[in-house]
Structure 1
Amino acid sequence: MPFAKNDLKLLAFGFAVAVFSSFGQTYFIGVYREPISVAFGLSNSDFGLYYMMVTIGSAVGLNQFGHLIDHMPLRRYAAWLVMLLALACLFMGLAGPVFLLFGAMVLVRLLGQGMMVHAAMTTMSRYFDRNRGRAVAIAGLGMPVGQAVFPPLAVFLMTLMTWQSSWLVFSGICLAVALPLVLYLLRHHEKHHADWLTATTAAGQTDGAVGGKVWRRRDVVRDYRFYLMLPALIVTPFWITAVFFFAAEIADSKGWTMQAFTGFYWLYALGAGVTPLLGGALVDHFGGRRLLPWYPPVMALGLYVGLISTGSAGIGLFLALMGLVLGAAGPVNNAMWAEIYGTRYLGEIKALATSLLVLSTALAPYLIGLFLDSGVAFETLLVAGIIHSLVSSLLVLPVAKGR
């Protein structure tokens, strides 16, 4: 079913917010790990520990504030997010002592990876019913686009200026580009919101719930299906975080410079751009829940390619497969929450789920860094990722079958 004309600006909003979430994503912060570590004398495990605490802080913040999207007008909510993200980028550029730097990083992670992505995906899942999968997929395309643009731009800027100064540039981009764009795209959103309220009421779902039950966060944590799904849900953020956070180690092991390695990020973006629309169409046809077991094996395949590859073709395929699994997981996961638990309190439910996914991205740098500093080869860790992927696919089968 084609999107209505009035839906296009809302779709563009989801896409744009996902693009600008890049400033808080690990694939972006990862390119700053080496200069920050050199500046402050941090080892892999040192930086990983700090980063874990930073990301745990952002996960806690998301769980506390994610529900605001259920209660605030979306235009005001999104404008505040962009302005606060610009302020966080400014703090990153101005921070001197290490504790101030990582304090600023908490804000960047919370507002970028956490709240911006949460806003994009909750909006798509809430306001699109029949085309929910496609809407989530279109919004999700913003992240690979951001990844193709901003990390190479950051590396380029650091050849012209200090790494701190480059953050000031990105703060300016938030205010000069992202803020006016968000305000324009949501200019008439109040009518869209009113239409959604009318539609859910007319369908006999006054609270936006499915199956006649109103699901709140407290209900979800008592649902056994939630825990069967978690291993599959975290497989993508955990291992993709590990790959991009330790990009320098991977590049070095393959005989690449960081600039050359990040130059291949466009293949990751291409992979992530190919699958969401197909995945969204499949979600709209089969439902996200039934597709849950299918993307973890793709992650296993991608990690296996990364394990055995050394040449440029293999690295390109490795990054492309990482993008493919990200693109496939996005529509499936985001649509699944609305299918199982409804849309009325989707903000608080997805805030819980997203905070746990963010927590997995906190653990990845610390745990992987700890193993690397202990002498464990990165190849051995990739084998662990393959096993995790395959086991999680089996665990989620009962949920996919509706049990």
Structure 2
Amino acid sequence: MATAPLNPVVFSFFLVPMSASTGWSLGSLSLALTFRLVLSGLTAPLIGTTIDKFGPRWLGILAGFVAGGSLVGLFFTHQIWLLYLLFAISGCVGLGGGPGGNLLTLVPVAKWFIRQRGRATSIATTGMAVGTVLAIPATQWMIQNFGWREAWVALGVLMALIIVPLSFLLLRGSPSDLGLEIMESKDEKAKSPTFLEDNWTAKEALRHPVSWLILTAYSVGGFALTGVLLHRVAYWESLGISPALVAFGTALDPLTFMFSVVLFGIIGERVKLQYLGLYGGLVFSLSMVAIITSTGQIYSIIVHNIVWAAGGGAYITTNNLIWPNYFGRKFLGTLRGIVFPIQVVATGLGPPVYGFLLDSGVAPKTLWVISAFLFIIAGLLLFLAAPPKRRISTIEK
């Protein structure tokens, strides 16, 4: 929840006031998010390996100080290179992964559960949604009443005050860190063969074509997803919709997502993830119809965000579950630390590419149509990503 200020949705409310204040173009401002995501990807192998070997506790404490401090530093930003530097720093500690997920929060959860991993990771994911629901109106209010610089300070201080103590008190990498067993009942252990888990090493997983199919799907989808997330707010305001109404409509996205992701977390324990991924991509595409056809009606924001969140619950749940379910949890941090950089680089390219195209005069609706097709492609690729099969040589209880 406390990582919500790093969400591209929250940053989207800063674009117009920051551009008006500094004269920086939408493309230039959007590039800041790319720096955060790229640095998140570059440091992911180290973060993932560190989580596997030492757990997330002290890393979480460091992340709270670094990410919170980088947001506070935005108050002093008068040159764009400093904006890029601070955004890059905030992405170096495992919290700035964008829609692809945060290694520091999601990898430990996946290691605690097997059979109920879907609902566990979905409940953990709702934290970002809850935080975003609260952050959107608060951010809009602070920007209007105090300014965008002061808003960044408030968000950064709040992040550090929440993340640091909670990481120290609660964050642990696996049940064994507390002398406990994995979170499954005795009945489930006795009855279910799925409690026995095939753990692939990162090297073995990357040799299998399905890992690259998954990676391609989330790279294509992530490119469109972040591009839409960051620029839809400015588009709605350009249609004459008031910032307050835009904030209200946009808040329906994370609000609906809270319920959607829990629902699909439970469904993901019973349904093939291929179907869940296909559904997510197709519904994302369907949500774009409302924004493509909008001429300034508030209902278009409401419909888009509710449908978008309905697809997002399935799409994000698939991303959270598909790696541990397909390749096991023992080397999960290392594996995701390797594939994560590629995914977030592609994801990070979306905002500046969309921004520079908009600056050059490309019609926003053209980008929305392209996005709809990219979501369909991502969904189809996930549908083709069947669970990998091999002769099981290592079974991890």
Structure 2-normalised TM-score? Answer: 0.85
Alignment CA distance shift 1:144-1:380 (3 Å): same
CA distance in 2 between partners of 1:188 and 1:368 (Å): 37
**How far did residue 402 of structure 1 move?**
5.4
Aligned to 2:347: 361
Do the aligned partners of 2:97 and 2:344 also contact (CA within 8 Å) in 1?
A: yes
Say whether 1:229 aligns with 2:211: no
Aligned counterpart for 1:169 among listed residues 132, 154, 161: 154
Alignment CA distance shift 1:58-1:375 (3 Å): same
Aligned to 2:82: 100
**How far did residue 225 of structure 1 move?**
1.1
Q: Which moved more, 1:153-162 or 1:328-337?
A: 153-162
Letter in 2 for 1:118: L
Aligned counterpart for 2:102 among listed residues 86, 108, 117: 117
Equivalenced residues, count: 377
Paired residue secondary structure (2:330) = coil
Aligned to 2:310: 324
Paired residue secondary structure (1:159) = helix
Paired residue secondary structure (1:80) = helix
**How far did residue 141 of structure 1 move?**
0.8
Say whether 1:78 aligns with 2:60: yes
Do the aligned partners of 1:59 and 1:114 also contact (CA within 8 Å) in 2?
A: yes
Q: CA RMSD for the aligned pairs?
A: 2.9
Q: Write the deviation string for residues 18-53 of structure 1: whole angstroms up to 9, x where unpaired.
A: x12212221122222223323332222333345434
**How far did residue 248 of structure 1 move?**
4.0
Do the aligned partners of 1:236 and 1:299 also contact (CA within 8 Å) in 2?
A: no
CA distance in 2 between partners of 1:393 and 1:58 (Å): 25
Instruction: Please identify runs of 4+ aligned residues in structure 1 that moved more than 6 A.
Output: 187-190
Say whether 1:392 aligns with 2:378: yes
Aligned to 1:43: 25
Q: Write the deviation string for residues 259-279 of structure 1: whole angstroms up to 9, x where unpaired.
A: 321122221122202211221
Do the aligned partners of 1:301 and 1:386 also contact (CA within 8 Å) in 2?
A: yes
CA distance in 2 between partners of 1:145 and 1:86 (Å): 18
Alignment CA distance shift 1:28-1:292 (3 Å): same
Paired residue secondary structure (1:90) = helix
Aligned counterpart for 1:297 among listed residues 279, 282, 297: 282
**How far did residue 374 of structure 1 move?**
2.9
Aligned to 2:322: 336
Paired residue secondary structure (1:71) = helix
Q: Write the deviation string for residues 164-193 of structure 1: whole angstroms up to 9, x where unpaired.
A: 222222232123333223333348976555
Say whether 1:89 aligns with 2:75: no
Do the aligned partners of 2:32 and 2:83 also contact (CA within 8 Å) in 1?
A: no
Say whether 1:254 aligns with 2:239: yes
5+ unaligned residues in a row in structure 2: which ranges?
390-397
Letter in 1 for 2:144: T
5+ unaligned residues in a row in structure 1: which ranges?
1-18
Do the aligned partners of 2:37 and 2:97 also contact (CA within 8 Å) in 1?
A: no
Paired residue secondary structure (1:396) = helix
Paired residue secondary structure (1:106) = helix
Aligned counterpart for 2:369 among listed residues 352, 363, 383: 383
Aligned to 1:370: 356
Q: Which moved more, 1:90-99 or 1:66-75?
A: 90-99
CA distance in 1 between partners of 2:374 and 2:348 (Å): 17
CA distance in 2 between partners of 1:188 and 1:402 (Å): 26
CA distance in 2 between partners of 1:320 and 1:103 (Å): 34
CA distance in 1 between partners of 2:345 and 2:11 (Å): 16
Alignment CA distance shift 1:248-1:284 (3 Å): closer
Identity of aligned residues (%): 21
Alignment CA distance shift 1:54-1:144 (3 Å): closer
CA distance in 2 between partners of 1:198 and 1:138 (Å): 15
Do the aligned partners of 1:209 and 1:341 also contact (CA within 8 Å) in 2?
A: no
Paired residue secondary structure (1:158) = helix
Letter in 2 for 1:307: I
